[in-house]
Amino acid sequence: MSDPTNNDPLMDDREASTGLSGSTTADTLHPPTELTSSVTGELRRAVLGMNLLVSALAVVLALAIGAVLIALSSPNVIESAGYFFARPLDTVSAIWQSVTSAYSALFQGALINIDALREGDISRAFYPLSETLTVSAPLILAGLAVAIPFRAGLFNIGAQGQMAFAAIGGGFVGFAISLPAGVHLIVSLIAAMLFGAFYAGIVGFLKARTGAHEVITTIMLNYIAIYFLGWVLNQDWFQREGRNDPISPILSDTALFPRFFGDGLRVHAGIVVAVLAVVVLWWTLTKTTLGFKIQTVGANASAARTAGIDVGRIWIAAMLIAGAMAGLAVSMNVNGTDKVVTAGIVGNIGFDAITVALLGRGSPFGVLWAGLLFGGLRAGGLAMQASTGTPIDIVLVLQALIVLFIAAPALVRSVFRIRAGGTEALSLAKGWGT
């Protein structure tokens, strides 16, 4: 079992259930499945999700490395290390103090404010959880915008631009027309989805018709969308009256996501939309012909073409879905938290989404969990920076390390000296070729 290519979880289960053991049986079982496991195994793995133990250990390992960074850079630690040989315990306690206070603030900032809970201040106690859900919603949706093209073998770096472009449509409908409450919100969301889908569709169309590489076109369209948004924000029909800075009018109340718990907590109905999108896309991918075609094209475009699938159309379809998801993602900010369109409406969500999609292994439910985890890290990181002064950038380091370690289970296993088993390195992108 030391050969890393033969670690399909289903194969292990089958072996265990038949009660067969011994190397000869394993050898006779493995070779015929090896070829198919490279194609179907990948899909199964994506659905099965990740090996829980390795994932948990990956998070532990990432937190440990983060702790080293926090300790080494803490002013208190550096100061006490100056007289380390006189009073070594000072350094140890400074290290302990800096790491525990930072991580405790991170944890409480992501989930629940324990002090406030003791005091019975429910609203303040659950404020962190509300923030986590608020931040997660656009991350999950933008993560889907990257994940779906991944499944079709496309690398969509363009969620950023698709979101910026979609903000123009969704925002304009939100402030310029008047409709009854609810209907207005839905029309605004649809406008954002259409704008996003159009913008992402360009990429799929160019790829299908001319072979223009999607990595180039999405990067270029990101810049174009951001400058276009900047131009739109300076036009009379989009800029708020009496303002010189690039900002749109405030959206009508009828176009806003309802908040669950009044104005004290920011969490709004957008998170429900995000979860619904996850379910719908999971269903589309696994239960529909379109989903099957997307996965087939992603697994092997030339085989799919031979089998009669119009690969170009599937690429376009995957990008249209992606753009619609990016449109919903930016609506979380436009119709949810910000209530206006500004040049910075997208933030860095489109790029964070790439990490979310990777951690989620391109599967909708994986993206859901990854989005919640990163949303929690983000919300907690802000609280940590505010209360302990530890820069929020440590959250980026943690995110990167978690994805890296989960992607390389062999490394995690060797660090913790666990025997092989479970899923192997994930494979999503198919290189540059088509």
Partner 1 sequence: MTIAMPQKSSDVPLVTIAPPSPRKPIIMTSLAVALGAVFIWMAPSDQVTTFLFNLGDPVISIPDWEFNARIGATVFAILAVLFAAAAWPINARRGSLMLPALGVGVSLVLAFLSWVGADSRIPITGLLQGSLLLAVPLVFGAMSGVLCERSGVININIEGQLLVGAFLGAVVGSLLSNAYLGLLAAPVAGALLGLLLAVFATKYFVDQVVVGVVLNVLAVGLTGFLYTRFLTEEPDLWNNPPLLPTISIPVLSEIPILGPILFDQNVIVYLMYVVVIVIQIALFKTRWGLRLRSVGEHPEAADSVGIRVNRTRFRAVVLGAAVAGLGGAFFTLGSVGAFGREMTAGNGFIALAALIFGRWNPLGALAAALLFGFADNLQNVLSIIGSPIPSQFLLMLPYVVTIFAVVGLVGRVRAPGADGIPFRKS
Among 115, 253, 400, 416, the residue binding partner 1 under the rule CB under 8 A is 400
Sites for partner 1 among residues 27-86 (CB under 8 A): 69, 73
216 interacts with partner 1 by CB under 8 A: yes
Instruction: Give CA–CA dist 173/190, Å, rounded.
Output: 10
Which residue stretch of 16-24, 91-99, 162-170, 394-402 sits at the interface with partner 1 (rule: CB under 8 A)? 394-402
- Residues 6 or more apart whose CB falls under 8 angstroms from that of 95 comprise 71, 74, 77
Copy the structure tokens of residue 40: 């179907």
Task: With beta carbons less than 8 A apart as the criterion, state whether 134 and 267 touch.
Answer: yes
Copy the structure tokens of residue 382: 């802000």
Which residue stretch of 17-25, 258-266, 295-303, 395-403 sits at the interface with partner 1 (rule: CB under 8 A)? 395-403
230 interacts with partner 1 by CB under 8 A: yes
Among 83, 96, 223, 283, the residue binding partner 1 under the rule CB under 8 A is 223
Residue 43 C-beta: closest distance to partner 1, Å: 15
Q: Find the angle CA(63)-CA(59)-CA(65) to the nearest 5 degrees.
A: 30
Instruction: Give CA–CA dist 143/328, Å, rounded.
Output: 11
208 interacts with partner 1 by CB under 8 A: no
The position carrying tokens 């790439």 is: 354
Integer angstrom CA distances of residue 202 from 155, 199, 220, 393: 14, 5, 12, 34
Nearer to partner 1, 188 or 399 (CB): 399
Task: With beta carbons less than 8 A apart as the criterion, state whether 260 and 269 touch.
Answer: yes
Which residue stretch of 96-104, 117-125, 228-236, 257-265 sits at the interface with partner 1 (rule: CB under 8 A)? 228-236
C-alpha 405: how far from its chain's center?
Answer: 16
Residue 286 C-beta: closest distance to partner 1, Å: 22
> How many chain residues touch partner 1 (CB under 8 A)?
52
Residue 127 C-beta: closest distance to partner 1, Å: 25
User: What track of x and - describes contact with partner 1 for positions 307 through 346 (by CB under 8 A)?
Assistant: ----------------------------------------
3-state secondary structure at position 306: helix
Neighbours of 78 (CB within 10 A): 13
Strand ranges (DSSP E) for 99-165?
none
403 interacts with partner 1 by CB under 8 A: yes
For the chain, the 3-state helix, strand and coil shares in percent, each to the nearest 5, are 70, 0, 25
Sites for partner 1 among residues 161-190 (CB under 8 A): none
Contact residues: partner 1, CB under 8 A: 4-5, 69, 73, 155, 157, 206, 210-213, 215-217, 219-221, 223-224, 227-228, 230-231, 234, 354-355, 358, 391, 393-401, 403-404, 407-408, 410-411, 425-433
